Amino acid sequence: MSRILKIAARNVSRYRRRTIMTSLLITVGIVVVLVFTSVSGSFKSLMVGQITDSMLGHVQLHRKGYVASLENIPQHLNMNRKEYETLAAMLDASPDVAAYSPRIKLGGMISNFDQTANIRLNGIYPDREAETCPLLPSRIIGADESGAMTLKRGEILLPYLIAQGMKIEIGQDIVIIATNKDGSVNGQTFTVSGMLEQITGPGGRDGYIHIDDAVSLLRMTDGKPGKTGAAAAASVDTGMDEMDEFEKELAAMEAAESAQKEKQKTAEKEWTAEISEIAVRLEDFNKLESVKAGFEVALGEYVNKKGKPVFEVHDWEKLSPFSNIVQIIDVMNLFVKIILIAIVMISIMNVMVTAVYERVREIGTMSAVGTVPGRILGLFVTEGLLLGVVGVIIGNITGAAIVLLLNINRITMSFGRQEGIVLSPSIDFSQMLFISAVVLVVAVFASLQPAYKASKMEPVDALRHV
Amino acid sequence: MALISSEGLSKSYYTRDIELKALDGLDFEIEPGRLVSFVGPSGSGKTTLLNLIGALDRPTAGRLTVAGTDVATLGRKSSAVFRGENIGFVFQNFNLLPVLTVYENVEYSLVMVRNVPPAERRKQITRLLEDVGMADQQHKFPDQISGGQKQRVAVARALVTNPRLVLADEPTANLDSKTAFMVIDLMKRMKNEFETSFLFSTHDHKIVDNAEIIYTLEDGKITDVKNAGGDA
């Protein structure tokens, strides 16, 4: 084998110009693939990160049919307390879940006492929402300088376009009027604490209020009112004056910082809110598929009386139109790789066909002195492989160098109000290995036909060749 | 037992439907350790006969046994193995592999065909290169040596596997007289030293004069056989 390798290496270096040209072609192909995949990959992860971390979360859990009717904000498809607790227990037990945030979604009217407009709102726990969507605070215009997510009861984060259209300023009071699933209409005054930059995808133009405000606004009860639910119901009955009672109660709960989450969960168990969706952030985004599949299996056992599933699981791709762009990027990546394969295939096949044609007498001589056909085939395949190896080595080094240069020179871009986002292209080592393996396999494949032809030559004809 | 035995050996080539008989029913036997020359005009069938004996080609009819093997029955791989074990070749155009040095060209068969251990290989090659007077040129590539030197290397390559038979097709055709005599002399020495049979296809009287048996071919038939004895 080492002798075949030695002869092949010498043959490859024998036609220096041809080898350089072929290796250069393969190098260019590999560089294009590496740079394109790293830059597009960086763009993709940046955009996906922006979307999932600003609004969607990585995965969302709903009652079956909710997402299909998402535009209508179907309150009758909210989860009841028991259903929510089922999901919460599953999420709490999962080591793959970094954070999750229950949301109450509602549609209503906003009034600044001068104009009215439609608005969609999310009732959230600010801290849990910020844990699940860590970039949400960065979307807030007029946010706290610390970047912390602050949304107290009685406050609202308004979509920027609505605020601008209605000439609403931060600190101004507005009224939200909403209808609950029973058709009961309620109104509540809020103070605008900030404005939200819109983002593409569902919920990208929604405003935010505290989840307890959503409970009171929608007068949520399930016939088994808990402590908070009862209080919420009381707040509806007695009007805004009763809100102070709530705030005191909430402030008392928040005072115990060490047990904050536990208390919040306890509070969740007590209130009677119906949750529209749960946004989930995973520990490792790369495990999205497997974690989602795990959720689907775990939730598959919950069926209604008709045997239909109660819950549905959606990852961000199913919820955001940006996933189409991601798919386009993936398709472009695929095409670039196909072009690389074509380049390697054509260039190596061309060189090897020429090499066989030029060395017919040599093949005849090798065969005459007793070289078996398999070894002749091995020799030419090795030559093709070596051409691929040279291209792979130079291509990977050059590609890595270019990506390094791109990182040093920093490519910046804007996305929404976020300017100066730095693209950080990086080469995934496994991607590099994959591309190298593809090139080498294609190199061998491209050499096979000429090599086979060489091995099948009749020595008497080959020796006669001029 | 004869090294080569031929009965009714024929070889035809076909151009469309026209049959061209290159060899027509040859019967002959060659004993081991002989210097045999096939002579005759161009197209008489000399090279075709050598190709058949060397298992490079297959006869159309008849029987040809070389070193106890019916070469007509060999497949592509087994004929290569047979050649590697029994036959050495010396070509008119030397046919050295250009990417290998003198040493490596001689070594080629031992590595690629015979798989001889390195120490034994080195001993064998060094001795042969000294015998053919190329030991001091062993690191040179074929394009760095003269035609005569190339043919000496080719002889060394042909003999390195200790074959029972060396086939040489016009081995002196591309050499000047002085070099041709040197190569002939070398082959005679090698024949005596290794007891290898040498079969030549040639026009060159320098070879013919040194052959022990001379077969004259005309139109694919043996027209004359001379047992000259040569001065070997």
Q: What is the pLDDT of residues A4-59, one digit of tens each?
A: 899 999 998 888 898 899 999 999 999 999 999 888 888 888 888 878 888 889 99
The residue that leads in pLDDT, A289 or A231, is A289
Examine the pLDDT at A224 and tell me if it is beyond 50: no
Closest Cα in chain A, distance from residue B104 (Å): 10
pLDDT for residue B174: 78
Pairing of strands A173-179, A277-282: unpaired
User: Which of A13, A365, A386, A461 to mutate against chain B (most B CBs within 10 Å)?
Assistant: A365
Residue B232 has what pLDDT? 41
Distance, in angstroms, between A389 CA and closest chain B CA? 20
CB–CB contact A371 B98 (8 Å):
no
The alpha carbon dihedral of B105, B108, B110, B111 has a sign of positive
Instruction: Count Cβ neighbours within 10 Å for each residue of A180-193 and write b for 16 or more, e otherwise.
Output: beeeeeeebebebb
In-domain check, residue A299: no
**Which tens digits make up the pLDDT trace of A84-105?**
988 999 999 999 999 999 999 9
Same-domain status, A269 and A382: no
Whether residues A204 and A269 fall in one domain: yes
In a shared domain, residues A219 and A252:
yes
Phi, psi values for residue A98, rounded to 5°: -85, -40
**What percent of chain B lies above the pLDDT cut of 90?**
45
Query: Distances in Å between the alpha carbon of A339 and those of A167, A333, A342, A455?
Result: 53, 10, 5, 30
Residue A147: per-residue pLDDT: 64
Q: A78 and A139 in one domain? A: yes
Dump the DSSP string for A337-380.
HHHHHHHHHHHHHHHHHHHHHHTHHHHHHHHHTT--HHHHHHHH
Between the CA atoms of A318, A321, A325 and A327, what dihedral angle is there, to the nearest 10 degrees? 20
| Residue A374 shares a structural domain with residue A457 | yes
Of B51, B83, B98, the CB nearest to A369: B83
SS3 A188: strand
A262 within some domain: yes
Residue A169 DSSP symbol: P
- The CA-atom distances, in angstroms, between A173 and each of A214, A360, A370 are 17, 90, 96
SS3 B36: strand
Which residue of chain B comes nearest to A11, CA vs CA? B99
Cα dihedral A283, A257, A137, A314 in deg (nearest 10): 40
Contact (CB, 8 A) for A359 and A456? no
Q: What's the pTM?
A: 0.71
Chain A positions in Cβ-Cβ contact with residue B83 (cut-off 8 Å): 368-370
Q: Which domain holds residue A238?
A: 74-283
**Which one of A251, A283, A315 terminates a domain?**
A283
Nearest Cα residue to B20 out of B10, B30, B29? B10
Query: In the predicted model, is pLDDT for residue A229 greater than 70?
Result: no
Residue after which a domain boundary falls, among A283, A313, A345: A283
Q: For residue A211, what pLDDT band results from cuts at 50, 70 and 90?
A: very high
Structural domain includes residue A195: yes
Q: Confirm whether A314 is domain-assigned.
A: no
Task: Give yes or no for residue A227 having a pLDDT over 60.
Answer: no
A374 assigned to some structural domain:
yes
Interchain contact, A369 vs B84, CB within 8 Å: yes
Residues A349 and A221 in one domain: no
Sign of CA dihedral A166, A171, A177, A179: positive
Q: Which of A362, A364, A370 sits opposite B109 (nearest CB)?
A: A370
Smallest Cβ–Cβ distance between B108 and the set A10, A14, A369 belongs to A369
Measured between alpha carbons, how far is A94 from A59 in angstroms, rounded to an integer? 13
Q: Are residue A106 and residue A234 in the same domain, yes or no?
A: yes
Last residue of a domain, one of A257, A283, A309: A283
Identify the bridge partners of residue A189 per DSSP, sorted by sequence position.
A175
pLDDT (tens digit, 9 = 90+) per residue, B101-124? 999 999 998 988 887 888 999 999
Burial of A379 by CB count in 10 Å (0-12 exposed, 13-18 middle, 19+ buried)?
buried
Which tokens go with A142? 């007029």
Q: How confident is the model at residue A272 (pLDDT cuts 50, 70, 90)?
A: low
Distances (CA, A) of A164 to A108, A170, A195, A248, B213: 18, 11, 9, 33, 113
pLDDT digits (tens, 9 = 90+) for A128-176: 999 999 888 888 886 666 667 778 899 999 998 899 899 999 999 999 9
Mean pLDDT of A392-403: 92
Cα distances (angstroms) measured from residue A264 to each of A85, A128, A253, A392, B189: 13, 10, 8, 56, 104
pLDDT value of position A295 = 93
> Looking at chain A, which residue has its C-alpha nearest residue B82?
A370
Total tally of structural domains belonging to chain A: 2
Which positions in chain A touch B160 (Cβ < 8 Å)?
Answer: none
Report the alpha-carbon distance of residue A388 to residue A383 in Å, rounded: 9
* pLDDT of A445 over the 80 cut: yes
pLDDT for A270 equals 55
Contact B83 A458 (CB under 8 A): no
A144 part of a folded domain: yes
Cα–Cα nearest to A105, from A54, A69, A52, A137: A69
Same domain? A25 vs A126:
no
Chain A residues near residue B23 by CB distance under 8 angstroms: none
Q: What's the pLDDT at A138?
A: 81
Q: B13 by DSSP, 3-state: which?
A: strand
**Residues A450, A365 share a domain:** yes
DSSP string over A229-263? HHHHHHHHHH-GGGHHHHHHHHHHHHH-GGGHHHH
Give me the pLDDT at residue A418, please. Answer: 61
**β-strands A277-282, A59-63: how paired?**
antiparallel
Question: How confident is the model over A408-433, as a mean pLDDT?
Answer: 78
Residues A428 and A359 in one domain: yes
Does A306 map to a domain?
no
Q: Are residues A88 and A228 in the same domain?
A: yes
The pLDDT tens digits for A326-372 are 888 889 989 988 988 898 889 999 999 999 999 999 999 999 999 99
| The pLDDT value given to residue A263 | 56
Structural contact between residues A33 and A435, judged by C-beta atoms closer than 8 angstroms: yes
Domain co-membership, A374 together with A408: yes
Residue A290 lies in a domain: no
| Percent of chain A residues past pLDDT 90, beyond the cut | 42
Contacts of A5 in chain B (CB under 8 A): none
